[in-house]
Amino acid sequence: MNLVIFGPPGAGKGTQSKFISNRFNLHQLSTGELLRIEIKNKTILGSKISSIMNSGDLVSDDIVTTLIEKYISQNTYKNRLIFDGYPRNLNQAINLDKLLKKYDQKIDLVLNLSVKLDTIKKRILERRFQEKRADDNEVVAIKRFKNYESSTKPVLDYYNKSNLLKDVNGEASITEINVEISGIIESIKG
């Protein structure tokens, strides 16, 4: 199965994706992580995107779509992908459907982790000390949240129409969320 894990910055998408990928033998595809690797490796792409990412804005759809096609096109990952941080706007959601279709696949489930802005701020500030990400400071975190509200959240309606969406309370503990998500995936796998 292919699934999308959806939610605002700091919702716990990465944490839950890692858990699900281990438990169900899926592959976590985090566009944020792929982009950070480009910056760390000082690639040409990395130099183009670092200021955009550090300011909390989205990088261009073309860049992220090219990155994810590299994975969708590989047989090893066929029907085993967790999209973490993609799609982030309606155009990306449409691109994702097209790409999956091109490789004879589809999305089976969209998990929506919902979390309040106060919790997000707290988590991002805590994470800053662990991961030392350049975009984990309060000003940029608020900008990322605003971008989520304006560009990313509308994608939920898109998935709601196709009945793929399951809401998960992202305020619960990591373990509680693990249990809830596992139950949902088990029920879909049948």
> Of 100, 95, 80, whose CA–CA distance to 2 is shortest?
80
Q: With CB under 6 A as the rule, give the number of residues binding ligand ADP.
A: 18
Stretch that binds ligand ADP, among 17-25, 28-36, 158-166, 167-175 (CB under 6 A): 28-36
List the one residue from 26, 32, 93, 100 that touches ligand ADP (CB under 6 A).
32
Considering only residues 43 to 82 of the shown chain, the ones binding ligand ADP according to CB under 6 A are 52-53, 56-59, 64
State the nearest-atom distance from the C-beta of 21 to ligand ADP, in Å.
15
35 sits near ligand ADP (criterion: CB under 6 A): yes
Cα–Cα distance, 150 to 144 (Å, whole number):
10
Q: For residues 51 and 162, which CB has a smaller minimum distance to ligand ADP in the complex?
A: 51
Based on the shown chain and the rule CB under 6 A, indicate whether residue 170 belongs to the binding site for ligand ADP. Answer: no
The side-by-side arrangement of strands in the sheet containing 27-30 is 27-30, 81-84, 3-6, 109-114, 165-169
CA dist 116 and 150 (Å) reads 15
Identity of the residue, 47 or 187, whose beta carbon is nearer to ligand ADP in the bound complex: 47
With beta carbons less than 8 A apart as the criterion, state whether 117 and 63 touch: no
What one-character DSSP code corresponds to residue 108? Answer: -
- For ligand ADP, give the closer residue by CB, 90 or 165: 90
**Binding residue for ligand ADP, selected from 3, 4, 5, 9, defined by CB under 6 A:** 9
Nearer to ligand ADP, 88 or 166 (CB): 88
In the list 6, 82, 88, 159, the residue contacting ligand ADP (rule: CB under 6 A) is 88
SS3 letters for 122-186? HHHHHHHHHHCCCCCCHHHHHHHHHHHHHHHCCHHHHHHHCCCEEEEECCCCHHHHHHHHHHHHH
* Binding footprint of ligand ADP on the chain (CB under 6 A): 9-10, 31-32, 35, 52-53, 56-59, 64, 85-86, 88, 92, 135, 144
